[in-house]
């Protein structure tokens, strides 16, 4: 406690970011340090796990000390430690979980494991101090395309998920096919602005009626087939049109299903999260669809959308307030069902 506020130290290392954050009373961010590894990954064209693990180890103390320092607090002031314990890369997760347990043990501080997806959704509580459950959440990132019904802070139901490629992953792969480089999502978003999104009719896969699942593998293959066919025919490719049309075919389906879920579950609020929440077309389509249906639309700023530890800290705070505490036997779980958090 400091100045009468409950302080949570959050730690996140499930994929390519090492991050630490201190929040006060769950929603007020005192510090949010992210040691981005994007430069290393650009060299290799993707996340390189071995480098990621080693970098996490090099970075973890720096980001934790940085988060405490920037917040102007010491470990003695911390009331709770929250850490992402899954899902993710095992080597990467272990670094954060081990650091969190060491600090919890040394400082005799309670520890709470957080599901990465629960963290992403919680970013919205930080961005919008007035947001309270229930609402519909949509998490769109390199590893996730999920629709979640948030009934309460710790009562969430996964309504649908991608059955094959995540949206961000499909964008990364198409960016590679078009020679745009990494990270693919922002490159496609930027290039799409110069293209005609109705130029090519890439197929939309909506699956069975009423399903909130996604499938992006088919559109990915469709784009690759299109590119290969055009190249073989000696035609010049219009990459901007391809990027714009491909992006529309993905984002349209996400926006439609998200709003359909909100309506079916009677939610009047819809919150976007995950790295792809920064996509300008997705944001526009969601805003339009929400407005047309009388739904309030929430979207955190990009720094809270990509992997960060403030969101983990916030989720941990609400779990702890509900009486949830983990032991020092907390383990990193590369596979972690969403209903087990």
By the rule CB under 8 A, 173 interacts with other proteins: yes
Residue 110's SS3 state is coil
Of the pair 149, 169, the CB lying nearest other proteins is at 169
Of the pair 72, 181, the CB lying nearest other proteins is at 181
Of the pair 108, 232, the CB lying nearest other proteins is at 232
CA dist., res. 261 & res. 138, Å (int):
10
CA dist., res. 257 & res. 260, Å (int):
5
Q: Which stretch binds other proteins (CB under 8 A): 28-36, 43-51, 129-137, 318-326?
A: 43-51
By the rule CB under 8 A, 26 interacts with other proteins: no
Residue 21's SS3 state is strand
Q: How far is the CB of 114 from other proteins (least distance, A)?
A: 17
By the rule CB under 8 A, 306 interacts with other proteins: no
By the rule CB under 8 A, 47 interacts with other proteins: yes
CA dist., res. 52 & res. 29, Å (int):
26
Q: How far is the CB of 85 from other proteins (least distance, A)?
A: 14
| C-alpha dist (Å) from residue 151 to 17, 188, 328, 336 | 29, 34, 29, 20
Site for other proteins in 229-288 (CB under 8 A): 229
Site for other proteins in 197-216 (CB under 8 A): none
Using only C-alpha atoms, what is the Rg of the chain? 20
Taking CB under 8 A as the criterion, the residue among 7, 9, 15, 272 binding other proteins is 15
Of the pair 89, 100, the CB lying nearest other proteins is at 89
CA dist., res. 264 & res. 188, Å (int):
32
Q: Do 191 and 177 touch, CB atoms closer than 8 A? A: no
By the rule CB under 8 A, 50 interacts with other proteins: yes
Of the pair 7, 52, the CB lying nearest other proteins is at 52
Site for other proteins in 123-162 (CB under 8 A): 142-143, 161-162
List of E strands, 153-202: 155-161
Q: Which stretch binds other proteins (CB under 8 A): 48-56, 57-65, 103-111, 198-206?
A: 48-56
Q: How far is the CB of 259 from other proteins (least distance, A)?
A: 24
Taking CB under 8 A as the criterion, the residue among 2, 5, 6, 48 binding other proteins is 48
By the rule CB under 8 A, 87 interacts with other proteins: yes
Of the pair 165, 189, the CB lying nearest other proteins is at 165
Q: Which stretch binds other proteins (CB under 8 A): 3-11, 100-108, 224-232, 239-247?
A: 224-232
CA dist., res. 324 & res. 321, Å (int):
7
By the rule CB under 8 A, 57 interacts with other proteins: no
| C-alpha dist (Å) from residue 56 to 15, 61, 64, 93 | 9, 9, 11, 9
| C-alpha dist (Å) from residue 135 to 125, 138, 160, 239 | 11, 10, 15, 37
CA 31 to chain centre: 19
CA dist., res. 210 & res. 219, Å (int):
20
CA dist., res. 43 & res. 180, Å (int):
13
Q: Which stretch binds other proteins (CB under 8 A): 23-31, 50-58, 121-129, 245-253?
A: 50-58
Of the pair 194, 229, the CB lying nearest other proteins is at 229
Q: Do 100 and 27 touch, CB atoms closer than 8 A? A: no
Binding site for other proteins (CB under 8 A): 15, 44-51, 53, 87-91, 142-143, 161-166, 169, 173, 176-177, 217, 220-221, 224-225, 228-229, 334-335
């Amino acid at each position: 406690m400091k100045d009468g506020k409950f302080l949570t130290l959050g730690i996140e290392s499930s994929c390519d970011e090492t991050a630490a954050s201190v929040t006060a009373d769950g929603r007020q961010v005192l510090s949010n340090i992210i040691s981005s590894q994007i430069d290393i990954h650009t060299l290799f064209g993707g996340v390189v796990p071995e480098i990621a693990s080693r970098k996490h180890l090099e970075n973890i103390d720096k980001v934790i000390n940085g988060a405490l320092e920037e917040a102007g607090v010491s470990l003695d002031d911390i009331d709770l430690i929250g850490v992402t314990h899954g899902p993710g890369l095992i080597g990467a997760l272990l670094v954060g979980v081990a650091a969190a347990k060491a600090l919890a043990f040394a400082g005799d501080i309670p520890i709470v494991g957080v599901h990465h997806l629960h963290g992403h959704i919680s970013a919205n509580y930080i961005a919008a101090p007035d947001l309270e459950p229930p609402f519909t959440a949509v998490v769109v990132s390199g590893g996730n395309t999920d629709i979640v019904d948030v009934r309460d802070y710790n009562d969430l139901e996964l309504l649908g998920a991608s059955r094959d490629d995540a949206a961000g992953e499909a964008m990364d792969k198409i960016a590679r096919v078009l020679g745009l480089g990494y990270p693919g999502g922002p490159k496609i978003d930027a290039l799409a602005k110069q293209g005609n999104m109705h130029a090519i009719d890439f197929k939309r896969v909506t699956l069975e009626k009423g399903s909130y699942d996604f499938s992006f593998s088919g559109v990915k293959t469709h784009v690759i087939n299109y590119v290969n066919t055009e190249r073989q025919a000696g035609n010049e490719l219009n990459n901007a049109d391809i990027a714009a049309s491909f992006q529309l075919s993905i984002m349209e389906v996400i926006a439609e299903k998200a709003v359909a879920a909100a309506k079916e579950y009677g939610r009047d609020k819809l919150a976007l999260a995950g790295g792809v929440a920064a996509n300008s077309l997705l944001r526009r389509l969601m805003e339009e669809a929400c407005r047309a249906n009388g739904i309030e639309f929430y979207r955190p700023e990009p720094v809270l959308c990509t992997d960060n530890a403030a969101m983990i800290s916030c989720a941990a705070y609400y779990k702890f307030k509900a009486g949830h505490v983990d032991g020092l036997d907390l383990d990193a779980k590369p596979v972690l069902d969403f209903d087990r958090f």
